[in-house]
Amino acid sequence: MLAVLGFATLGSFMLLVMRKHLSAFTAIMLTPIAAALVAGKGTELGDMIMNGLDTVAPTAALLLFAVLYFGLMMEVKLFEPVCQAIIRLSKGDPVRIVVGTAVLALLVALDGDGTTSYMIICSAFLPIYRRLGLNPLILATLATMALGTISGTTPWGGAATRGISVLHLNATEYFVHMIGPMALTSLAIIAVAYWLGLRERHKIDAEKLAAFKLEIASGEAFEPVKAGWRMWFNTALTLLLMVLLILEVADLLVLFMVAFVVALLVNIRVIAEQQDLIKRQAANAVPVMILVLAAGVFTGIMTDSGMIKAMADAALSVVPESWGNTIPLFTAFLALPLGFFMSNDAYWFGVVPVLAESAAQYGIDANQIARAGAIGQILHSMGPTSAPLWVLLGLVKAELGDFQKYALRWGILVSLAYVLFAVITGAVSVA
394 in Cβ contact with 140 (< 8 Å): no
Calpha distance 413→189 (Å, rounded): 10
pLDDT (0 to 100) of residue 321: 67
Calpha distance 264→181 (Å, rounded): 32
Calpha distance 343→108 (Å, rounded): 23
Give residue 26's pLDDT band: very low, low, confident or very high (50, 70, 90).
Answer: confident
pLDDT (0 to 100) of residue 280: 84
pLDDT of residue 278 exceeding 80: yes
Give the residue with greater pLDDT, 394 vs 406: 406
Q: What does each C-alpha distance from 76 to 65, 277, 354, 395 come to in angstroms?
A: 17, 11, 43, 23
Calpha distance 393→183 (Å, rounded): 27
H-type alpha helices, 136-270: 136-150, 158-166, 171-176, 179-201, 206-218, 229-247, 252-267
pTM score:
0.70
Give residue 115's pLDDT band: very low, low, confident or very high (50, 70, 90).
Answer: low
Tell me the per-residue pLDDT of 180-221, one tens digit each, with 9 for 90 and over: 999 999 999 999 999 999 988 877 766 666 776 776 666 666
Helix, strand and coil percent figures for the chain, each rounded to 5: 80, 0, 20
Tell me the per-residue pLDDT of 308-321, one tens digit each, with 9 for 90 and over: 767 666 765 666 66
